[in-house]
Structure 1
Amino acid sequence: MAAQSQYEELARQLSAIGAVKRGLARILPAQCPSGSAAVLTLISRHGEMRMSKLAELLAVDMSVTSRHVAHVAERGWIERFPDPADKRSRILRLTPAGEDMLEDLSQRSIDALAHTLDDWSDDEVGQLNVMLARLRHSFDCKARAFPPHHDHTRTPA
């Protein structure tokens, strides 16, 4: 197990990832902000789904999800059609225009990363990919099992 100081430094480095995400968000086209890009990515990755599933995957409130869905639907990137199992619900599906937008977003990200990491070796980029995938897998497997955090600074009422 790593030393406490290594976990402290890891926490600082992960906090700084926000700067990387903001940098990548700057390359998005004006008509496709990061929330819209996330909707397109998740529908592409997971296939057709209900709004409730999308909200769960986005980890945001249903009202926020509805705004993102309205934005991408207005641009023709997704279609909404009645759920055969429940006509009150809608199923979301990526359209060919949405697939084109995703391809554009992907190429923008690849180009930005290639430019930013042009002084990294193939091996270094590969190591980063492996370690980030491992970190994500560890969180997927263990995050639900985190022990509850107890705030010991509060006194019982």
Structure 2
Amino acid sequence: MSSKHVDEFAESFAAFIRSLGLLEPDRTPCGAPMSVAEAHALTILREGALHQGKLGSLLNLGKSTTSRLTDGLVERGWVQREPDPSDGRARLLTLTEAGSNAAESVVQRRSQRLKALLDHIDPDQHAAVINALRLLKEASEHDRR
């Protein structure tokens, strides 16, 4: 790949990140009053209880970052730690009612924001945009190994 392409990709990617609002620490790109990590954790926990380590793995976060994130979710009243019935020493993270409500709000806001983005793109290009995102995700995962 030419350095010109790398430079163009870097500039375009950084501009995209900024345009989404990902640099705001206390607000998601869809406008939810929480960090992006909190929003992702809540939406993952909608699927059911998880061990903290598994949540961190799904979010690609280190142990200490996951611990701080989980502590914050507990403090906000969105998550509770419960004993794992299969392992008395382990704790499962589950959403509280307030956490479920917050997660649902995030899902709705995200859907509205992404629909608005797609509305500004020619429908004939939607599949290409989705494919490009999949390719970037795969490349990112390969790079993390």
Same fold (TM over 0.5): yes
- 1:36 match: 38
- CA 103–20 in structure 1, closer or farther in 2 if over 3 Å, else same: farther
**1:74-89, aligned counterparts within 5 Å?**
74-89=75-90
**1:59-138, aligned counterparts within 5 Å?**
59-95=60-96, 97-138=98-139
Q: Percent identity?
A: 29
- 2:28 match: 25
Task: Output one character per residue of 1:91-136: Cα deviation in whole Å (capped at 9) or x when no partner.
Answer: 1123454343222212212222333453322222332112111221
The unaligned stretches of length 5 or more in structure 2 are none
Q: The residue matched to 2:14 in structure 1 has which SS?
A: helix
Q: Which amino acid aligns with 2:45?
A: I
Structure with max Cα Rg: 1
**1:138-157, aligned counterparts within 5 Å?**
138-140=139-141, 142-144=142-144
- CA 125–4 in structure 1, closer or farther in 2 if over 3 Å, else same: same
In 1: Cα distance, 2:42 partner to 2:77 partner:
11
In 1: Cα distance, 2:37 partner to 2:144 partner:
25
Q: The residue matched to 2:127 in structure 1 has which SS?
A: helix
Q: What is the TM-score when the length of structure 2 is the normalising length?
A: 0.72
Q: What is the TM-score when the length of structure 1 is the normalising length?
A: 0.67
Kept in 2, the 8 Å contact 1:28–1:34? The answer is no
RMSD: 2.9
Number of equivalent positions:
141
Task: Output one character per residue of 1:57-94: Cα deviation in whole Å (capped at 9) or x when no partner.
Answer: 33444343233223333444333211234323211123
In 1: Cα distance, 2:20 partner to 2:36 partner:
10
